[in-house]
Chain A
Amino acid sequence: MNETSTETRTVVVEREFAAPPEKLWRALTQPHLIQEWLMKNDFKPVTGHRFNLRGDWGGVLDCEVLAIEPNKALTYTWDFAHDDAAFSLKSVVTFTLTPTSTGTHLRMEQSGFRPDQKQAFGGARHGWQQFFANLEQVLARTD
């Protein structure tokens, strides 16, 4: 536990899509298509371009394109700034596309905060009620 608590956390989600990399790439890089599956945005496929992702909940993510390799890989920052550090988040999202015999394997890796930092608790207040709800469920089961 102590070992991992000082490291950057990483989330990896992978899936194979029945579409060629070129088509998937369009869905990842064209604003009107990004909006359809992720969030409203002003993305441009240009390294150094700063853009926002706007969630339906009203939250705005600050992003910057860090690396782009057409049809293969895309990396951008995924930051949520908030006056209260407890709500903010700094992370980097990387999409990697690999062609397969039937389509494209998409790998999404998001590396974020270290849990020992205050911003680690971006989800903590939000999750507070959930936490106690979970706690009650667990307790109900353990009797």
Chain B
Amino acid sequence: MADAHDMLFRTLADPTRRAIFERLCRDGEQTVGALTARAGVSQPAVSKHLGLLKQAGLVRDRHEGRQTHYSAQLGALAPLIDWTGQMSSFWQSRFDDLEDLLKRMDQ
């Protein structure tokens, strides 16, 4: 669990890499060429970033002819989103209010 977090954080720590990932989240599947045009770095650099994103499970590649298309894998973020943690906090705070209510209620 901690390792998975570390890997995600490390991978997304780089601003250029994060920008590439955000772009894939926002705009959907892209080729390396299209990403390079917007990334402000060379194509080999973009490819390297994509390789690291892929290692972390954050992107998936799909080969079509001579082009490689990359897409964001939001599922990889699941450990960070922690829905269960959010809901636990929600219910804890509801239970606080329930406790208050029980004190005010008639028997």
Contacts and interface: CB of A to CB of B under 8 A. Distances in A.
Contacts of B1: 1
Interface stretch (B30-38, B43-51, B58-66, B87-95): B87-95
Q: Which of B74, B99, B102 has the most CB of A within 10 A?
A: B102
Q: Which of B4, B80, B97 has the most CB of A within 10 A?
A: B80
Contacts, number: 85
Contacts of A120: 75, 78, 83
B13 A13 contact: no
Interface residues of A, number: 38
A115 B86 contact: no
A18 B107 CA distance: 11
Given A1-B79, A123-B81, A138-B9, A110 B91 contact: yes
Contacts of B77: 124, 131
A65 B22 CA distance: 40
A5 B102 contact: no
Interface of A: 1, 5, 9-11, 13, 15, 17-20, 23-24, 26-27, 33, 36-38, 106, 108, 110, 112-113, 115-116, 120-124, 127, 131, 134-135, 138-139, 142
Q: Which 10 A-B pairs have the closest CB atoms?
A: A13-B91, A37-B97, A37-B98, A115-B78, A11-B87, A19-B102, A36-B101, A37-B101, A11-B84, A15-B95
